[in-house]
Amino acid sequence: MLAATVRVTRDLDLAEECVQDAFAKALTTWDADGVPRNPGAWLTTASRNRALDVIRREATLRAKLPLLVMDPPDDDDDGFPDDRLRLVFTCCHPALATEAQVALTLRLLCGLSTAEVARAFLVSEPTMAARITRAKKKIAHAHIPYRVPDEEDLPERIDAVLAAIHLLFSTGHTAPVGDLLVRDDLVGRALDLTRMLRSLLPRPEVEGLLALILLTDARRATRVDAAGRLLLLEHQDRTRWDQDQIAEGLALVRGALTPDPGRYALQAAIAAVHAEAPSYQETDWREVVGLYDLLLRRWPSPVVRLNRAVAVGMAAGAQAGLDALDPLGAEPALATYGYLPAARADFLRRLGRYDEARTSYEEALLLTENSVERRFLAERLSDLEPT
């Protein structure tokens, strides 16, 4: 809806207001007339019509508003008639700082709240709100056009676009808040956008991200049981993994692993190790650790270091994993990241250090807002041996 409305307004703030007005109108209209056959199309039309009304009535005022200036495009003006992809490239213009590009994409294209975007970046909500506001003003003042860039300009935009789509997928794969572990809408959107990008720019880094999404998402149906409880990798029914996605992902990752592979290709290679293992017990954890070592050279992220530490614990035992986790306690970016105390709690539980495990589980619960994950942590906490 937002992407379609921006095509009319060429102003992000005005488009957001029109979308909100459309939802407000639906509350009264649908109550009286019933829900239409295609609610999404109704809402999009209402939003665009609202935008046209504002433009017609307030032409003089509109001329003074910050606009995304360009000639009104035809549906096929850039050879790719998908409004969402245009909005991604608008948000990921090189005039903006990289983190601002990704944050703005998540906020506007994906509909994530400012708080959810802040969690994805491991920063405070006020910090993220200011970052998004500055980015929107920069787009307006710089007259950044609302379109997919020319082919020769694609490479300079691609890193930020891929980062935004990867964060979109990650947010959908494990929702930061709510009652569902997976947000299917965000996962599907990330997959669609990556396929579109590959058709525009069939490069190894794009194929690496597509492989990563396919291989990771192939496990979706097995990540919770019939009662909605979280199932870890070791308890998932591998016969129910999506074999078509796995086959496509494995083929892509082979092509993406160039002599100097990018971060998404390396992450996809890690996912491929899990996808190809006949069972959890037969997972080649040493290969996983080696791939994380390569990934850290390419992308020295605190979260990657955390994931590597977990893999070390699987390969060399709980104490080795705990030793690898300990230095991360001083990492500021992980101070509010619930997976760090959750990983510590699991290793401590395996070592029989139940009092320390209990403290770590309680800390993880304080930092976790997804109901499915909270239920899992609470059950692990209650199952600990009594003191």
Cα–Cα dist 284/161, whole Å: 32
As a whole-number percent, the residues of the chain with pLDDT over 70 amount to: 88
pLDDT at 146: 64
**β-strands 369-370, 177-178: how paired?**
parallel
Top mean-pLDDT range of 41-45, 192-196, 269-273 = 269-273
Query: Please, which pLDDT band fits residue 66 given cuts at 50, 70 and 90?
Result: very low
What are the pLDDT digits (tens) for 103-142? 887 787 767 778 878 877 778 888 888 888 888 888 777 7
Domain locations in the chain as residue ranges: 2-62, 76-201
pLDDT band at 87 (very low <50, low <70, confident <90, very high): confident
Provide the H-helix boundaries in 222-325.
243-256, 263-276, 285-298, 302-316, 318-325
pLDDT at 327 over 50: yes
* DSSP notation for 177-218: EES-S--HHHHHHHHHHHHHHHHH---HHHHHHHHHHHHHHT
pLDDT digits (tens, 9 = 90+) for 41-56: 888 888 888 877 766 6
The pTM of this model reads 0.75
How far apart are alpha carbons 21 and 188 in whole angstroms? 26
Residue 245 pLDDT more than 80?
Answer: yes
pLDDT (mean) for 182-205: 89
pLDDT band of 247, cuts 50, 70, 90: very high
Question: How big, in percent rounded to 5, are the helix, strand and coil portions of the chain?
Answer: 70, 0, 30
CA 75 to mean position of chain CA atoms: 28
Q: What is the pLDDT of residues 143-167, one digit of tens each?
A: 776 667 676 777 777 888 898 889 8
- Beta-carbon contacts of 78 under 8 Å, excluding residues fewer than 6 positions away, are 86, 147, 148
CA 152 to chain centre: 27
- Examine the pLDDT at 71 and tell me if it is beyond 50: no
pLDDT tens digits, one per residue of 331-372: 988 998 999 999 999 999 999 999 999 999 999 999 999 999
| Nearest by Cα to 70 from 9, 124, 161 | 9
Supply the pLDDT for residue 301. Answer: 92
Structure tokens at 33: 């007339």
In Å, what is the CA distance from 141 to each residue of 67, 100, 131, 135? 8, 15, 15, 10
At residue 80, does pLDDT exceed 70? no
The rounded distance, in Å, linking the Cα atoms of 129 and 104 is: 10
